[in-house]
Amino acid sequence: MENIFMSDVMITALWIGGIIFILTLGQFSISDKVFSKFTKKKKLKLIIFCSLMVSCISVVLTLGISAIVIQSFEIYGIIGRELLK
């Protein structure tokens, strides 16, 4: 049961990361002021790198928050079972 749930959490985190990657890629490519002093090739690499970093951070945060939520549900489940005995 836990493996199924964790795979769903992983797929959701990757979807969120992909969406944030596309959004930040568009945002960084629109804001030319930040990257105006670089050449076109270096600017493209920098934009892709920054977007990947933002999406990786979002995936890690999503997985971390979901792990905390899963742990708290398990703890509350154990406490609830003990109280019902």
pTM for this entry: 0.65
Q: Total structural domains in the chain?
A: 1
Residue range of the domain that includes 44:
2-84
* pLDDT tens-digit map of 3-52: 555 677 778 888 888 888 888 877 776 666 666 777 878 888 888 888 88
Q: What are phi and psi of 37, to 5 degrees?
A: -85, -5
Query: b/e for 49-59, b at 16 or more Cβ within 10 A?
Result: ebbeebbeebb
